[in-house]
Structure 1
Amino acid sequence: MISTLSKMNRHSVYRVIVAVLAMIVVGLSRLKADSSGLVWLCTVAGSLALIYCCWPLAQQSWQDMRRRKMSMEMSMLLAVVAAAAVEELVTALVITTFALIAEILEDLCLNRGHDALEDLMSFLPTTVRVRRSQEQELPLAEIEAGDVVIIGPGGKVPVDGVVVRGHSTLDTSRLTGESLPVEVQPGTEVHAGSVNQSGGLEIQATKVGEESSYGRILAVLKEARDSQAPVQRLADRYAAWLVTMALGAALLTFLITRDMRATISVIIVAGACGIAAGTPLALLGAIGQAARNGAFVKDGAHMEALSHVGMVALDKTGTLTTGALEVQEINPAPGISEKELLGLAASAEYYSEHPLGKAVVLVAQQENISVAPPDSFRAIHGKGVEAQVGGRLIRISKGARRGEIQVSEGESILGTLVLADTVRPSASEFLEGLHRDYIPVAMITGDQREAAEELAKEIGLDDVRAGLLPEDKLLEIDKFRDNLHSESHSATLVMVGDGVNDAPSLARADVGVAMGSATDVAQDTADVVLVSSDLNDLLATIRVARRARNIITANFVGTIVVDAIGMLLAATGLIGPVVAALIHVSSESIFILNSARLVVRRPL
């Protein structure tokens, strides 16, 4: 309660108190009909209070007039002036009180959205333990790429980097939404914003400050908070149109009825603040939810576009798969253990630059198999490698199957290893979610058709376009967009990729989405970045965007209905200025609170 009160604008609170007291004093004085002096004194005091309380409305109205902009502040000020002009001072004070309360409510709701950003900004530590020539504590701003940062249990990871020493588990929920801890060990990549839970860690920084995952999220959220989506511009235009319509209806009411109270009531009852303020609040809440789920959207326009997704195009390698080769099968010959076969292959490939060779070495190290450098090494172009390992001549050659390598010694075959790019764990679930939401999906890849169709069959994907160069991908993107826009002008195409070759397609699509493991070029080009490279985060973001759109639409429709009924009742004299003000502020508050449902606070 105290926290909420501290966030209120003190001057607005003071003005509400003054308006309420003045309203009570003026109202009570009118009951004393035999005391004209008291009535006059209270009227003067009430008028001064009214001027003080309406001063923010007058300032905003003057600025709007200079910009030739019609606003709700201007319409409310006109209503207050009109009520005071016909000696309805109590009504003028009631209108002012409701307007000020609505402003406070709007500010509190918007502050809830901004608090999420402030929590993010204050989360990282201000100082960090770092090992350079010796261990020392430095301000976070002075940490550079290459520094080794020391994180104790319970400490917050301040940089993106790679674990060089220690084993632990990390809480990555602030970045990815993942509730289960993630185990890390030497060689594991970690991101700023994670929390170390158990053991001590030493992390070599690769990206710091604004270049880190956490820094990019903050920068994007700041930009998104200040950006204006097309739907927001529409809301502003509609608000101005509604104010103009209300003034026109008020003029028509006066010309027909000559009833000033009915005329004032028509001006008062019309309210568009619910959509003018509720729309940016809904978008801010949606962007905040997406960021907490592990995806950050670069501005409100792209969040709006995600609410109209008509199709998703996906790259294969690095998007549907992890992009990292792993050993899928180890087939040793009789008398040879899997560990011995993998160790010999890794030692023979120790100096290899081939992706398959590097993958074999990495897997052996991850399995804690001792990998000794060979005594000699020779790469045979197009055939494999040959190396002396512990006095044994080991040859590595291509196997019969795709991704298979054969390990032999002399004429004896020691066994085979099968390596393949691993399917992302979230790929199948993501595609199932798209199918449930009736969103068509296609794979566009430069890989060979055989490999692409094999993966598509495994994860349940029907539409496959393989063997494409970057320019071919652009042509496919153009075809998808043309087909979508011919069916629905608002339907948008989403392209998901990770490589430099995907950057043109990411830029050409209506919304480009890059994986968190993507190249810097792809991430800079994309409109959305999935920090944890979890495709389900994109699905969650699409659903949040649709929910935001539904809320904004409900606000639009509700405002039209309430204003139309209210103006009709006011014009016919069935409601007076006070009831009109109550309807105006109540409906406005309901629509703002409706948008605030998207702004969900989470514990640290």
Structure 2
Amino acid sequence: MSVSAEPRAAADGGRERSLWSRIDRGDLIRTLFVAVCAIAVASGLTGPWPAVPALAVVGLVVGCRAILVEAWEDLRGRRMSMELSMLIAIAAAAAIGEWVTSLVITTFVLAAEILEDLSMGRGRDALTDLMAFLPDAVQVRDGGDVVTMPLARVQRGQIVVVGPGGRIPVDGTVVAGRSTADQSRITGESLPVDIAVGSEVFAGSINQVGAVEVRAERVGADSSYGRIVESVRQAQSSEPPVQRLADRLAAWLVSLALAGAAVTFLVTRDVTATISVVVVAGACGIAAGTPLAVLSAIARIARSGAFVKDGAHLEALSAVDTVVFDKTGTLTTGTPTVVGVRTVDGTTAEGLLVLAAAAESSSEHPLGRAVVAHARAQGLPVGPSAGFAYEPGRGVTATVAGRAVTAGNRALVPDAPETLEGQGTATAVHVALDGRYAGSVLLADVIRDTARQAVAELRGHGLRTLMITGDQEATALAVAAELGIDDVRAGLLPDEKLSAIDAERAAGRTLAMVGDGVNDAPALARADVGIAMGSGTDIARESADIVLISSDLDDLVRTVRVARRARRIVMVNFAGTIVVDLIGMVLAAFGLLGPVLAAFVHVGSETAFILNSARLIPARRTRQGRDRVT
């Protein structure tokens, strides 16, 4: 039962809070005062009669003020609420002189309110903890100087300097320095990652050992961290369909309780049994447990590397039966990578790579850049070239160490073989030395490390998987076979991807679409739940309902798992509340459950269902990085 006019937000700046510090002092004093009044009245029943109701009335006035305010608002709005039913029960008990009963009921209601505030406060602390983590001021390079400025003033393109132990305040690319970063707040990955020039870093990460300079690319609310904060903030104010269902069910249960009380009185003429019927029936577990489950689930997902833009999307995800994947950039890295080198007699793989990389060193083509990056990653020297020439759609030519080097397709290297052993779906960059074919570098868009396990786990949860891609059918089928994907649609243009989504939905499927590119945006928006990779395009992230910050498909599995768990918890609360209320009302109507015991059952069931929802509240990390539940 919620009788607070406004939710109480944590005000500790994100610091660790004890249980005592979470309790509102006013609520605690009010509850203790009413409890003392109940004890005094119970022990003074043989004393002077006027003192008993006088003390009881004082206790009730103090304890019921907040309940009365909300009950009056609900009455004016013609809404059935638990505050209204409990106020009727308290007033009825007092009217027949059951002062102890009315005070005990009030005490239980106030104690339950404190528990609810504690549980909701822990869920809200996830937001407070996130908001307080980024520094207020940062160091920015201004020419040859480093100046300090508020984080709110940092603009895209500015160079932010982060020292050892500092918190990275923006999403961006490292332009100087080398270090390791703790990205656990953003990606959920507990181990630090190495960062160097060219590495992408996320706001909210902790720079550990060395100083780095980061070019800001997304700042403030646009950063990964800012979007996580906003997603949790919106979860507090959003009302998903399950919450509206909870509100309707709560109103129905209140109406049932009042109707049951009226029937009990008409049949038995027993005022005590009538009051017990009103007291025992409570939808507080539903009313409080449902928003707590939604908020806690979104906060937990945010801690593990994804953000959900609204509670409705979380609920929709829990109901999907098919996960649709784009291929390039989603199941694969989206970046060509060298997967093999084939040479003719007399040429070594290292020698071929050195010459090809030197020839491609001035190229802007993705395949050429991949060859250069691979050679450097292998520790091979990438020397200078002369006479560089690029022929669109064919390849490049250059002079390297006095030798004519050609790197390209068969149109530029006609004596290259049509197929190579182990080529499969890889693309070949053929290399000729002084006009003669010398070997080939094989490149492919490699599958993400976590894709195979993620697909397997999704299928293990009973979800069907489908790939829709604009790539050629042979490549798509090969990737699907390797990953174990159930169905494939290849060679699709963006509007055809949209048609594929429409066809699946028309067949009765509930879809989650995972993509990263501009061509995926329409399908992401049309699916029941759109899920974008964090490394994808801005339009894909904007079109999606959920964003995987680190582009790790393990985060997708965790998000689906949490969404389903949240729904199960809410459904258990629904069923449990109905069962407890119906059994309690029957027992109360037959005089087997007195008002005080009815109040205990009411509060006990509410406590159980709130604690059930609180199981989703994310663990808080200690400074050593270990998780613990607070």
Report the equivalent of 1:505: 523
Partners of 1:185 and 1:247 in 2: CA distance? 67
Report the equivalent of 1:162: 173
Aligned partners of 2:303 and 2:618 also within 8 Å: no
The correspondence for 1:127, drawn from 137, 147, 151, is: 137
Report the equivalent of 2:3: none
Report the equivalent of 2:433: 409
State yes or no: 1:250 paired with 2:261: yes
Report the equivalent of 1:489: none
Report the equivalent of 1:216: 227
My pick for the range that moved more, 402-411 or 439-448, is 402-411
Report the equivalent of 2:19: 4
1:162 Cα deviation from its structure 2 partner:
1.0
Aligned partners of 2:404 and 2:435 also within 8 Å: no
1:396 Cα deviation from its structure 2 partner:
1.3
State yes or no: 1:152 paired with 2:176: no
Partners of 1:343 and 1:137 in 2: CA distance? 45
Q: Per-residue displacement from partner, 1:22-59 (whole Å, max 9, x unpaired)?
A: 11221222133xxx3xx312421221221121010000
3-state SS, counterpart of residue 152 of structure 2: helix
3-state SS, counterpart of residue 144 of structure 1: coil
Partners of 1:123 and 1:553 in 2: CA distance? 34
3-state SS, counterpart of residue 508 of structure 2: helix
Q: Per-residue displacement from partner, 1:551-579 (whole Å, max 9, x unpaired)?
A: 11111111111111111111111121111
Report the equivalent of 1:425: 449
Report the equivalent of 1:588: 606
Identify the structure with the greater helix proportion. Answer: 1
State yes or no: 1:237 paired with 2:248: yes
State yes or no: 1:445 paired with 2:469: yes
Q: Per-residue displacement from partner, 1:464-504 (whole Å, max 9, x unpaired)?
A: 1100111111121112112235xxxxxx2111110010011
Provide TM-score, normalisation by structure 2: 0.91
Aligned partners of 1:484 and 1:493 also within 8 Å: no
State yes or no: 1:597 paired with 2:615: yes
Mapping for residues 76-87 of structure 1, pairs under 5 Å: 76-87=86-97
Partners of 1:556 and 1:41 in 2: CA distance? 43
Report the equivalent of 2:569: 551
Partners of 1:334 and 1:158 in 2: CA distance? 53
The correspondence for 2:104, drawn from 84, 94, 108, is: 94
1:198 Cα deviation from its structure 2 partner:
2.1
Partners of 1:213 and 1:466 in 2: CA distance? 32
The correspondence for 2:116, drawn from 95, 106, 118, is: 106
Partners of 1:264 and 1:461 in 2: CA distance? 59
Residues 376 and 296 of structure 1, relative CA distance in 2, 3 Å threshold: same
State yes or no: 1:24 paired with 2:36: no
My pick for the range that moved more, 344-353 or 430-439, is 344-353
State yes or no: 1:464 paired with 2:475: no
Aligned partners of 2:64 and 2:106 also within 8 Å: yes
Partners of 1:498 and 1:284 in 2: CA distance? 26
Partners of 2:393 and 2:592 in 1: CA distance? 91
Aligned partners of 2:517 and 2:540 also within 8 Å: yes
Partners of 1:173 and 1:339 in 2: CA distance? 38
- Give, as a single letter, the amino acid of the residue that structure 1 aligns with 2:285: G
The gaps in structure 1 that reach 5 residues or longer are 486-491
Q: CA RMSD in A?
A: 1.7
The correspondence for 2:548, drawn from 530, 533, 536, is: 530
Report the equivalent of 1:397: 408
The correspondence for 2:595, drawn from 561, 571, 577, is: 577
Partners of 1:453 and 1:216 in 2: CA distance? 36
Aligned partners of 1:116 and 1:601 also within 8 Å: no
1:386 Cα deviation from its structure 2 partner:
1.6
1:164 Cα deviation from its structure 2 partner:
1.6
1:434 Cα deviation from its structure 2 partner:
1.6
Partners of 1:309 and 1:470 in 2: CA distance? 22
1:383 Cα deviation from its structure 2 partner:
2.7
Aligned partners of 1:310 and 1:484 also within 8 Å: no
Partners of 1:539 and 1:64 in 2: CA distance? 41
My pick for the range that moved more, 507-516 or 414-423, is 414-423
State yes or no: 1:44 paired with 2:54: yes
- Give, as a single letter, the amino acid of the residue that structure 2 aligns with 1:549: R
Partners of 1:382 and 1:565 in 2: CA distance? 77
The correspondence for 1:475, drawn from 499, 503, 507, is: 499
1:427 Cα deviation from its structure 2 partner:
0.8
The gaps in structure 2 that reach 5 residues or longer are 1-15, 411-417, 420-425, 623-630
Partners of 1:28 and 1:353 in 2: CA distance? 89
Residues 372 and 206 of structure 1, relative CA distance in 2, 3 Å threshold: farther
Aligned partners of 2:450 and 2:552 also within 8 Å: yes
Q: Per-residue displacement from partner, 1:426-475 (whole Å, max 9, x unpaired)?
A: 11101111221121111110100011112122222241110011111112
The correspondence for 1:520, drawn from 527, 538, 542, is: 538
Report the equivalent of 2:185: 174
3-state SS, counterpart of residue 387 of structure 1: strand
- Give, as a single letter, the amino acid of the residue that structure 2 aligns with 1:248: A
Partners of 2:519 and 2:322 in 1: CA distance? 21
3-state SS, counterpart of residue 19 of structure 1: helix
Aligned partners of 2:464 and 2:486 also within 8 Å: no
Aligned partners of 1:270 and 1:567 also within 8 Å: yes
3-state SS, counterpart of residue 255 of structure 2: helix
3-state SS, counterpart of residue 431 of structure 2: strand
My pick for the range that moved more, 20-29 or 250-259, is 20-29
Partners of 1:466 and 1:327 in 2: CA distance? 24
My pick for the range that moved more, 408-417 or 247-256, is 408-417
Partners of 1:397 and 1:598 in 2: CA distance? 55
State yes or no: 1:61 paired with 2:71: yes
Residues 143 and 339 of structure 1, relative CA distance in 2, 3 Å threshold: farther
Report the equivalent of 1:488: none
1:128 Cα deviation from its structure 2 partner:
1.7
Aligned partners of 1:131 and 1:149 also within 8 Å: yes
3-state SS, counterpart of residue 338 of structure 2: strand
Partners of 1:566 and 1:385 in 2: CA distance? 82
Aligned partners of 2:525 and 2:543 also within 8 Å: yes
Partners of 2:508 and 2:558 in 1: CA distance? 22
Report the equivalent of 1:259: 270
Partners of 1:356 and 1:237 in 2: CA distance? 59
3-state SS, counterpart of residue 570 of structure 2: helix
Partners of 1:363 and 1:223 in 2: CA distance? 44
Residues 509 and 132 of structure 1, relative CA distance in 2, 3 Å threshold: same
Q: Per-residue displacement from partner, 1:250-276 (whole Å, max 9, x unpaired)?
A: 111111111111111111110001011
State yes or no: 1:75 paired with 2:85: yes
Mapping for residues 247-396 of structure 1, pairs under 5 Å: 247-372=258-383, 374-396=385-407
Partners of 2:321 and 2:528 in 1: CA distance? 10
Q: Per-residue displacement from partner, 1:52-106 (whole Å, max 9, x unpaired)?
A: 2101000001111121111000111111111111111111110100000001100
1:370 Cα deviation from its structure 2 partner:
4.4
- Percent of matched pairs sharing the same residue: 53
1:365 Cα deviation from its structure 2 partner:
4.0
